[in-house]
Structure 1
Amino acid sequence: MIAIQFPPPDFKIVTEGGNQLIFDAYRKRYVVLTPEEWVRQNFLNFLSKIKSYPPSLMGVEKEIFLGEMKKRCDIIVYNRNSKPWMIVECKEMDVPLNLAVLEQIVRYNMALPVSYLVITNGTNTFCCKLKGAHDVPEFVADLPVFE
């Protein structure tokens, strides 16, 4: 498990129609502040402010296709050549990170092969390094330095 120290939140949050909305700087719009969105926004903040991943190379809620099924990756980090490098799957804090969550992100990797898979619920975070398309994921002790 990777220890994550989130930076202090500096989010723009408004209330509209009884819903709290948070400004997503990556999608350039306000979105409903769900428990999962809170984890996603904090993790994006962590990647950019603590790990120095370039915000311009991070995509949020990007569509992929698994056969005929349309799915969305919570966060995709691209390398400097604009190739997908990491997929992050965010769950709300009370959702355990179990085999089903790991299998979900491994399926995403079939459609969008990357070097790293990350699952987080804001409290617990795990990262796997993938060496090749058919290799078994190897858990690593920390998130990689951005290439």
Structure 2
Amino acid sequence: MEILNLPPFEYKIKQFEANSMIFDVLRRKYVVLTPEEWVRQHFIHYLINELKYPKSLLSIERGAKYNQLQKRTDLCVYNQQGKPHLLVECKAAHVPVTQEVVKQVSVYNQVLHAAYVVITNGLEHYCWEVDFLNKAYKPLQQIPSFKYES
């Protein structure tokens, strides 16, 4: 797998039949190691280890319905009240972050209403703060760290 622009972490990989599998700390099981999954696992560990998001607030492939179509988010981080806080779309490292990818995550977020949206291919990372009132996305220089709310 490709070296990414994310901090390394101690991963567990095993072979099962024809597939390489990587251990997912959120689902607590081995999953097929695809190039996109490699990026997602790195990003999960980045959120937990570097930005200090509790594992319990992260969810993988949450379903969302948009215009009668069932969609799945790559990664959703919730706030302490259980509302979507950060929506993450992961792409394989060889997939460029294009306007079409931005549109895809924006469509998901019309249903979820996360305060922040992140797109990453493991090499490039983009983060926006969402202003639903003015229907605007404000680009951020960095992804917000977890903050305990009282």
> Contact 2:62–2:76 (CA<8 Å) still a contact in 1?
yes
Task: Read off the aligned partner of 1:58 and give its amino acid letter.
Answer: L
Unaligned runs of 5+ in 1: none
Aligned residues: 144
Q: Classify the secondary structure of the residue corresponding to 1:21.
A: strand
Length-normalised TM-score, structure 2: 0.91
What are the equivalent positions in structure 2 for 1:1-147 lying under 5 Å apart? 6-147=6-147
Q: Distance in 2 between matches of 1:137 and 1:82?
A: 22
Q: Percent identity?
A: 39
Deviation >6 Å, runs of 4+: none
Task: State the shift of 1:135 in Å.
Answer: 2.2
> Contact 1:22–1:32 (CA<8 Å) still a contact in 2?
yes
Q: Classify the secondary structure of the residue corresponding to 1:53.
A: coil
Q: Distance in 2 between matches of 1:131 and 1:66?
A: 20
Length-normalised TM-score, structure 1: 0.93
Q: Distance in 2 between matches of 1:81 and 1:5?
A: 31
Q: Relative contact order (C-alpha < 8 Å, sep 6+): which is higher?
A: 1
Unaligned runs of 5+ in 2: none
Q: Distance in 2 between matches of 1:133 and 1:122?
A: 31
